[in-house]
């Protein structure tokens, strides 16, 4: 299992394969009346867009840190496990990575309340539509799902900020 996770984390080809298979699966699930060839074409398009975005993101992070994309993946794993590298060069690269990611988190924090408000409004709207139509089962399930998703987003955001602040303080020079 470790080898599969390692291959998936380091390889855009593995990620593309998963996105492609999921795209075909969703096409088959939600567009049963379409031709299977159309599912494949749409899945190829989705895969190209998503992998292009991921490659661009990996290149930006690689440029910001001065490390190869594979090294950035390994450093992210070390950040998640709170492992502080002993090699001075690796510490400098990790410090740049932590600063870059904290900057992204802080920029994203500005929009977080608005996204949560939009999700809350859709949940309330679904409840209102359910109440007016007489069926509350699906709107209640949807609302519980939205609330759980929002709580998970807030928890993950808080955890990421705490983790990156911890790594920033651990990487400070003791001079």
**% of the chain exceeding 70 in pLDDT:** 98
Residue-wise pLDDT tens digits, 86-111: 888 999 999 999 999 999 999 989 99
pTM score of the predicted model: 0.78
Q: How far is CA 63 from CA 35, 92, 93, 102, 116, in A?
A: 42, 14, 11, 16, 32
The DSSP result for 21-73, as a single string, is HHHHHHHHHH-TTS-HHHHHHHHHHHHHHHHHHHHHHHHHHHHHHTS-HHHHH
Number of Cβ within 10 Å of residue 103's Cβ equals 12
Q: Is the pLDDT of residue 174 over 80?
A: no
Residue-wise pLDDT tens digits, 31-61: 888 898 999 999 999 999 999 999 999 999 9
The pLDDT assigned to 173 comes to: 65
């Amino acid at each position: 299992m470790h080898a599969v996770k390692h291959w998936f984390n380091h390889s855009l080809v593995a990620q593309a394969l998963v996105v492609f298979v999921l795209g075909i699966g969703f096409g088959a699930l939600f567009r049963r009346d379409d031709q299977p060839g159309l599912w494949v074409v749409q899945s190829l398009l989705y895969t190209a867009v998503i992998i292009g975005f991921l490659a661009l993101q990996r290149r930006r992070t690689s440029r910001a840190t001065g490390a190869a994309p594979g090294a950035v993946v390994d450093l992210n794993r070390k950040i998640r496990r709170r492992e502080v590298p002993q090699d001075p060069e690796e510490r400098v690269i990790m410090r740049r990575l932590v600063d870059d990611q904290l900057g992204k988190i802080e920029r994203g924090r500005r929009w977080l309340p608005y996204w949560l408000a939009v999700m809350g409004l859709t949940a309330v709207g679904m409840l209102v539509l359910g109440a007016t139509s007489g069926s509350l089962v699906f709107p209640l399930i949807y609302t519980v799902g939205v609330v759980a998703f929002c709580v998970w987003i807030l928890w993950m955001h808080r955890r990421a900020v705490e983790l990156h602040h911890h790594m920033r303080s651990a990487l400070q020079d003791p001079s």
